[in-house]
Structure formats: structure tokens, C-alpha cells
């Protein structure tokens, strides 16, 4: 019986040029790398900055938890806390009836500017509106488009106020009153609904009548008003110049009247004193006083006439006595 040769062969021999795979070690490496990446992402997303013109609204799981001011701040990463920055210290504008392009060209929007006044005239009025964000939380979450709401609100109130005004006021002297009224109405509504915006200024940028003929007519009206103001100012200047003279004349007349008044009073007092003195003499000697008064009255009634008094002397002889000698030649 022939002999047989036997050789041992391993069941799974290693392949040439490769080592055995260590899966446990590789898994540990992947886990550590993922953890390191996770930590790095967390560190870099934990901090945020707010510039000097902004405020940031911080939400935790979708709920507002804080409002942060300019500076460097911390937040929880991985979507636990989110930050929404809002430009609260920036004045923003709305243009009604026109749009100013970046190159300085102004485009007209007549559908916004054409309005009808209270006296049924058509005018074109452009408005400039300036506003700012007053409440970042209300601005972000009270409405979906607060700027659009403000634009529609201002345009509505502009048409309301212009529609109740006279065309002369819209085009000339009443612009300031219209601006103030529009601002008051818009601010009242903003305070009621609170969309996070506050109105800073409302100004009529331009106002024109619809046709050239009407434009010329309003220019003539404006010129007439300016001329009237010039005449009024001239009259006021003349009045201011004449008032001191009139006051001086009035003062002089008042002093003269006071002097005449005092003279009449003194004269009356003198007559009263004279009458009282004569009355006292009359009480002492009635006959002589009455005779004297009679003679004095005759002298006043018949000036320049010589008067004589007949008297009865001794032996019933009548004598003529000249009144002048008795009166002392007066």
C-alpha cells in the first residue's frame, strides 16, 4: 500500500499584503471625532454680537426670553436658543407718490399721489414718511409685514385728511396742518394695534394741481397772497410808527383836561367861599348887604353909566350922591 503525504492548510488564511481589521478601535475614533466636532460647533455658535444700531431678540425653543443690547452675548447652541437682530436705531423712510432710485432718478407713481379734495378738486400730492422700530418683539411677531401695514395706513389717512381739506390749503397755506393731522391719526392707530413701529415725521414732499392752467391760477393766487401780506406788513409798520405820536397827543390832551378840571374846581370853590362870605355879611346886616348887591348888579347891567343915589337929608331935602364916590371909583 502506497504511502500518502498530508499538509495542513488554515481554513481562512490572511490575504497577502493586508492586516486584520480592528473594528472596535475605528468606531472609537469616529465617536471621538464626532464629539470633538460637536463641541467645536457648540463653542463657535454660543456667542453672538449686536452692533450699536441694533437690538437682538433671544428665543428659547421659540419663546421670547430676552432682548439684548449692543455687545457680545452668550446663547445656547444647536437651535435651543435663536437670535433675531433688529435695526432699532435706524430711521427708515416710506415714499408715497414717488420713488427715489439709487442713481438719484425719481419715478412718479400717480396712482398713489392723485387725490380729490373736500371741494371736489383733483390734486397730486407726494408724501415723505420717516419711521423707526420702537419695539423689536412686536415688530417681529405681531404682524407678518409691518412696513406694508404702515404704508397702507399712512396712505389711507393721507387720503382721508386731503379729502376733507380745501384745495387752497393743500397747495398753499395748509400743508403744515395737513401733515400734523396725518401724523396724529397714524400714531393713534399705531398705538392701538402696536406693530412695533413709531412714526417720526410726515411731510408733504410736493403738491400740484392736475393741469398747467390750474397751476398758473394757483401761482397767481399765491402771488396775490404775498402782495396782501406785504401791504399788511406795511400798514402794521405805519401803525407802529403812529402809535407813539398818538399816545403823546392823548397824554397832552389828558393833562390839559386835568388842568381845566382843576381850574374849574378852584373857581367853583372860590365862588362858594365868596358866597359864604356874602351870606355871613347878609346875616349881620341884611339891608346894607341887599343894597350893595343891588348897586353892584346895576353897575354890571349898565356899564359906563353914572349912577346916583337919592337920599333924604335933614329937612326932607333929597340929595344926589354919585355911586362912584361911594364905590371908591370902581
Q: What digits encode the pLDDT tens for the residues 6-41?
A: 555 555 555 554 455 566 777 777 777 777 676 666
pLDDT score of 215: 65
pLDDT value, residue 185: 95
Q: At what angle do helices 175-193 and 146-162 cross, to 10 degrees?
A: 140
Phi, psi (deg, nearest 5) at residue 149: -60, -45
The yes-or-no verdict on residue 57 having pLDDT over 90 is yes
Task: Read off the pLDDT of each residue in 150-170 and give the average, rounded to a whole number.
Answer: 91
Q: Select the more confidently predicted residue: 212 or 110.
A: 110
Helical ranges in the chain per DSSP H = 23-44, 110-113, 136-141, 146-162, 167-171, 175-193, 212-284, 286-301, 323-327
pLDDT of residue 320 exceeding 80: no
Mean pLDDT to the nearest integer, 229-243: 89
pLDDT tens per residue, range 275-307: 888 888 788 888 877 887 887 787 777 776 666
Mean per-residue pLDDT of the chain: 82
DSSP state of 316: G
Q: How far apart are CA 279 and CA 284, in angstroms?
A: 9
pLDDT at res. 153? 94
330 has pLDDT over 50: no
pLDDT surpassing 70 at residue 179:
yes
User: How far is it, in rounded angstroms, from Cα 63 to Cα 224?
Assistant: 64
**Cα separations (Å) of 121 from 37, 109, 162, 309?**
71, 19, 10, 104
CA distances 297 to 117, 218, 290, Å, are 89, 84, 10
Amino acid at each position: 500500500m502506497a504511502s500518502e503525504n498530508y499538509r495542513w492548510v488554515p481554513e481562512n488564511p490572511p490575504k497577502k499584503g493586508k492586516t486584520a481589521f480592528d473594528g472596535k478601535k475605528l468606531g472609537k475614533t469616529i465617536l471621538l471625532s464626532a464629539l470633538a466636532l460637536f463641541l467645536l460647533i457648540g463653542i463657535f455658535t454660543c456667542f453672538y454680537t449686536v452692533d450699536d444700531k441694533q437690538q437682538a431678540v433671544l428665543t428659547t425653543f421659540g419663546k421670547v426670553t430676552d432682548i439684548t443690547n449692543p455687545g457680545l452675548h452668550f446663547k445656547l447652541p444647536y437651535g435651543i436658543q435663536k437670535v433675531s437682530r433688529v435695526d432699532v436705531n435706524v430711521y427708515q423712510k416710506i415714499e408715497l407718490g414717488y420713488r427715489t432710485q439709487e442713481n438719484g432718478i425719481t419715478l412718479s407713481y400717480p396712482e398713489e399721489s392723485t387725490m380729490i379734495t373736500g371741494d371736489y378738486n383733483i390734486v397730486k400730492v407726494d408724501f415723505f414718511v420717516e419711521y423707526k422700530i420702537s419695539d423689536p418683539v412686536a415688530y417681529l411677531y405681531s404682524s407678518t409685514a409691518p412696513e406694508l401695514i404702515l404704508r397702507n395706513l399712512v396712505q389711507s389717512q393721507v387720503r382721508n385728511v386731503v379729502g376733507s381739506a380745501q384745495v387752497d390749503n393743500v397747495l398753499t397755506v395748509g400743508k403744515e396742518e395737513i401733515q400734523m393731522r396725518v401724523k396724529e391719526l397714524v400714531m393713534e392707530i399705531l398705538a392701538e394695534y402696536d406693530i412695533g413701529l413709531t412714526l417720526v415725521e410726515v411731510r408733504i414732499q410736493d403738491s400740484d394741481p392736475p393741469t398747467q392752467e390750474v397751476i398758473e391760477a394757483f401761482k397767481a393766487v399765491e402771488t396775490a397772497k404775498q402782495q396782501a401780506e406785504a401791504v399788511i406788513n406795511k400798514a402794521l409798520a405805519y401803525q407802529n410808527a403812529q402809535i407813539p405820536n398818538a399816545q403823546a397827543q392823548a397824554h397832552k390832551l389828558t393833562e390839559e383836561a386835568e388842568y381845566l378840571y382843576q381850574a374849574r374846581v378852584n373857581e367853583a370853590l372860590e365862588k362858594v367861599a365868596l358866597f359864604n362870605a356874602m351870606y355871613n355879611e347878609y346875616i349881620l346886616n341884611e339891608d346894607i348887604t341887599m343894597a350893595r348887591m343891588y348897586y353892584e348888579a346895576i353897575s354890571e347891567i349898565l356899564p359906563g353909566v353914572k349912577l346916583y343915589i337919592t337920599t333924604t337929608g335933614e329937612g326932607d331935602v333929597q340929595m344926589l350922591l354919585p355911586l362912584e364916590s361911594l364905590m371908591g371909583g370902581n
